[in-house]
Structure 1
Amino acid sequence: MRLLGRLLMILLVAALAACGGGRQGGGRAVMAGQGTGPQFGDSRPHAWIGGHPYDHPVHGIDISRYQGNIDWSTVRRSGVSFAFIKATEGGDHADPNFMTYWQQAGMARIPRGAYHFFYFCRSGAEQASWFISHVPRERGAMPPVIDLEWTPSKTCPRRPPADEVLAQAKIFKDILHQYYGQRPIIYTTVDFYRDNNLASWPEEFWLRSVAGHPRITYPGQPYSFWQYTGTGLVPGVQGNVDLNVFAGSPQQWRMWLNRRLQ
């Protein structure tokens, strides 16, 4: 009987794995709304605390050169509504795939914006100049993004005090605002947000939270975008990709775009 019980348990586990384990994890999880909504998955799905990203109707991706060749038409058909594309880092690094992705996403009619990974070993003004030299000022583009998180780079391990962080980041975003005509979006992580009191900034936020809903990890913080996984699966993209949601309805998304893509 014990052998039979073990056999039944093995069969049950196999059946759960085959169906993706639902929303709790265990394999490739296909999003709710398949056939009419986004056709995404996750290579490492798990249970969510405080709310599930799949309950949001507007989804997008953020990418860098590590995604390789992308079939943008397939990406669009899968339900991707926007894309943030890495352009620059610090004051001397540019993503070699940025312009290719930028042009191809535009041809596929996917709203896209460029982002900059901020370093703390160069001034905000120097980094703004570097970003501007690589990202076109283009009618119809989404606002630029400044990625604020502690850098893992061995060449720039600095963790300056919060007042210096905010001062240099403000210089960067003010220059971009003046040049592109749109206030930059602030992307950040939980530890950086807390360490530098970003709650004091009256800016538009894109928040990373890969275990719980932002209302849990960033209590009281308004946001427009939520990055909810780094192990997403999207038709047209090879391997894992970051997945995001817009914090609103499809109607609110169209209003958001209309305000920014003039």
Structure 2
Amino acid sequence: MRLSGAISFVIASLCLAGCSSTSGKDALDVQKPSNETTSSVVRPSAPIGSVPVSKAGNARKLAETAPEDGPDRPFGLAEEETVALSAPELPDNVDPPIEPAALVSPPKLLSRAAPAMLAGPVTRYGFRDAKPINFGRASPRHLAVHGVDVSRWQGDVNWEKLRTQGANFAYIKATDGGDHLDPMFMRNWRNADAAGLKRGAYHFFYWCRTAGEQADWFIRNVPKVDGALPPVIDVEWNGDSSCKRRPSREKVLEKMQVFMDKLERHYGQRPIIYTSPDFYRDNLQGAFLDYPFWLRAVARHPSKVYPGRKWLFWQYSGSGLSHGVTGRIDLNVFHGDERQWRAWAGGGGRQMMADAD
């Protein structure tokens, strides 16, 4: 009896030691090969070139609300000055060059009929800004097509008023992680369309879930509809998230590719990558040259914050004001003129790039 009791005690001690070991699930995950594999979506073998555009017609961009850092708190980022990438300094009286937007295939429509809203005129910029920035002659106001991104934090949006203020398109928070749906998504999705805005949905990527299950969750909740803008993957470091992981650059790019391939296969549209300066610095320099980018740069022009990166959308303010919402809203702009906006958003049948010089 005493011997068997001692043996039991030793076995129990070994079990407890195993449970408290630092080589737990996370460590085991590091040792195992990834279960995530890319799909068979065909990607261009080289970066996509540009189509020159005249100075006269340059597109304005979107007024949007800040995306969320996670399911339970509003979005928040440090100013670009703390994380900006190095770039040649220009004299104050010289405007920074405006990099051409990332070339991207137009959204694939599910029918031949173009949305009726594309026949109407683009609504001109009419927003105010609680913290205006002087971008000089590189001001986003010189571009033609502005819009908004919204989430639950904007509450009940008056989309008709937002449209008259200058919102021509809206990116709407849909999902984050593998189990969170923005409670305002479907209402915003329907009402933005009813007010005549081009609409798209975005997903906030969560680094503690697999890319495949996050893509499945997005697909489950975001309709595949005629005329919708391409889906967006929002990739950032989020200090307020319950997930504290910061995967390696290699793992980040792998997970993003899995997610984007799955969405492209389902929606027939190449996803757009939204990112912030610190995340871009750590992971995305030189990566995904054949994908369109939506860049956050609220203190300086994207050419200074992301030197050399072509972009399709620019989020230039997180402090916009509009009659359509209570509080502040993110302001964004499309990198092209009105003609290019119509060709791209309407599925003009060819690839385009805005070279807003």
TM-score (norm 2): 0.61
Equivalent position amino acid for 2:296 in 1: R
| Preserved CA contact (<8 Å) 1:208 1:228 | yes
Match of 2:281 among 169, 180, 194: 194
Q: Determine the C-alpha separation between the residues in 2 that align with 1:157 and 1:65.
A: 24
Match of 1:211 among 293, 299, 302: 299
| Preserved CA contact (<8 Å) 1:71 1:237 | yes
Offset of residue 71 of structure 1: 1.0
Matches within 5 A, 1:133-212: 133-201=220-288, 202-212=290-300
Equivalent position amino acid for 1:244 in 2: N
SS in 2 for 1:133: helix
Aligned residue in 2 for 1:40 = 127
| Preserved CA contact (<8 Å) 1:142 1:260 | no
Equivalent position amino acid for 2:163 in 1: R
| Preserved CA contact (<8 Å) 1:119 1:156 | yes
Greater fraction strand: 1
| Preserved CA contact (<8 Å) 1:145 1:186 | yes
Tell me: higher relative CO, structure 1 or 2? Use CA pairs within 8 A at least 6 residues apart.
Answer: 2
Q: Determine the C-alpha separation between the residues in 2 that align with 1:258 and 1:206.
A: 19
Aligned residue in 2 for 1:242 = 330
Offset of residue 152 of structure 1: 2.6
> Closer, same or farther in 2 for the Cα pair 1:199/1:234, shift >3 Å?
farther
Q: Determine the C-alpha separation between the residues in 2 that align with 1:180 and 1:79.
A: 28
| Preserved CA contact (<8 Å) 2:124 2:145 | no
Offset of residue 198 of structure 1: 4.0
RMSD value over aligned CA atoms? Answer: 1.6
What are the ranges of 5 or more consecutive residues in structure 1 without an aligned counterpart? 1-35
Matches within 5 A, 1:69-108: 69-108=156-195
SS in 1 for 2:161: helix
> Closer, same or farther in 2 for the Cα pair 1:211/1:91, shift >3 Å?
same
Higher-Rg member (1/2): 2
Offset of residue 250 of structure 1: 0.8
Greater fraction helix: 1
SS in 1 for 2:346: helix
How many pairs does the alignment contain?
226
| Preserved CA contact (<8 Å) 2:314 2:334 | yes
Worse-superposed segment, 71-80 or 242-251: 71-80
Offset of residue 145 of structure 1: 0.2
Q: Determine the C-alpha separation between the residues in 1 that align with 2:254 and 2:133.
A: 38
> Closer, same or farther in 2 for the Cα pair 1:212/1:49, shift >3 Å?
farther
After superposition, what is the alpha-carbon deviation per residue over 1:203-226, rounded to whole angstroms, capped at 9, x for unaligned? 110000001111111111111100
Equivalent position amino acid for 2:329 in 1: V
> Closer, same or farther in 2 for the Cα pair 1:123/1:249, shift >3 Å?
same
Offset of residue 162 of structure 1: 0.4
Q: Determine the C-alpha separation between the residues in 1 that align with 2:271 and 2:245.
A: 24
Offset of residue 38 of structure 1: 1.7
Aligned residue in 2 for 1:52 = 139
Divergent runs of 4+, >6 A: none
> Closer, same or farther in 2 for the Cα pair 1:147/1:260, shift >3 Å?
farther
Q: Determine the C-alpha separation between the residues in 2 that align with 1:184 and 1:120.
A: 18
Q: Determine the C-alpha separation between the residues in 2 that align with 1:186 and 1:214.
A: 15
